Amino acid sequence: HGVFAGVSFNLDQRRNGTVGYQVQDRAAVSTFAVQQNPPSEIGSGYRLHASRRQSDQETTEGGGSIQYRGRHGFYSATYQHGASQDYYFLGLAGGVAAIDRSLYFTRPITDGFALVSVGDLKDVRVYHSNKLVGTTDKHGKVLVPNLISYYENKVSIDDRDIPIHYTVPQTERYTALPYRGGAIVKFAATKLKSFSGRFFFMTRDGKQSADFAGLEIKIGEKVVEAVVGKGGEFYLENLPAGKFVSRAFLKGKECSFDLTIPDSDASMIDLGEVSCEIP
């Protein structure tokens, strides 16, 4: 015959513990344990436990373990004391994925995985099913392990990590993979560039204001349109570097000119004065 009493308690959503007391066969055993469960993605967890047995002689046992789930693997350390001996264990588990002509060291991969690319932006947080799985490296990439095969996996990024001078049309995407398959999930990140200047018509009488004139810049098969403001000021966005055939027109006046866009990493570029000659 024996008697047992125990209490379980929760400290928060991840931390819990137990306290127990048992009497059986003329021996009394007291136990205590507390643990924090590691998250499914990045983070740490631990477990501490101890017990004392009182009978003809008193014995104690106990130990603890800690685990960290990181971007490149699982790491653990365990200590155990029992029967007058101490035991120590160290653990490491990880994986290697070959995708997009590169190798990536990651946590153990048990099913599908994806390489997430956010342009060339580093330190952008990436989520799988709203759980943080990592941040992009200096090349704007991070490997996401443990996607579920034959299922629409939600992969998203935190737009608060996108610099103000960049634009990202999408912040979440869905991808389905075959069993233990891989995919590349791209989030287009475009650096915003603005171009400003002053536009004038050149006539026989000299330079004239081109207020409210229309501008057309031909870039390949695409035509970019703009309107000149007061004082001849104009504003353009996200044009590639190069020289482009352009046209200006206003109330029957029309002329052609070449607009040169410099190759620059600056976000705001002043093109200075631009003009074309009215025949």
Please give the pLDDT value at position 264.
87
User: Using 50, 70 and 90 to split pLDDT, how confident is the model at 253?
Assistant: confident
Q: Mean per-residue pLDDT for 173-188? A: 92
Is the confidence at residue 179, as pLDDT, over 70? yes
Please give the pLDDT value at position 201.
93
Q: Model pTM?
A: 0.64
Is the confidence at residue 40, as pLDDT, over 80? no
Please give the pLDDT value at position 1.
63
Least confident of 26-30, 85-89, 196-200: 26-30
Please give the pLDDT value at position 117.
96
Is the confidence at residue 257, as pLDDT, over 90? yes
How does the average pLDDT of the chain come out, rounded? 91
Q: What is the share, in percent, of the chain residues with pLDDT greater than 90? A: 61
Cα Rg, the chain, nearest whole Å: 33
Please give the pLDDT value at position 209.
84
Please report the sign of the dihedral spanned by the C-alpha atoms of residue 133, residue 134, residue 140, residue 146: negative
Is the confidence at residue 171, as pLDDT, over 90? yes
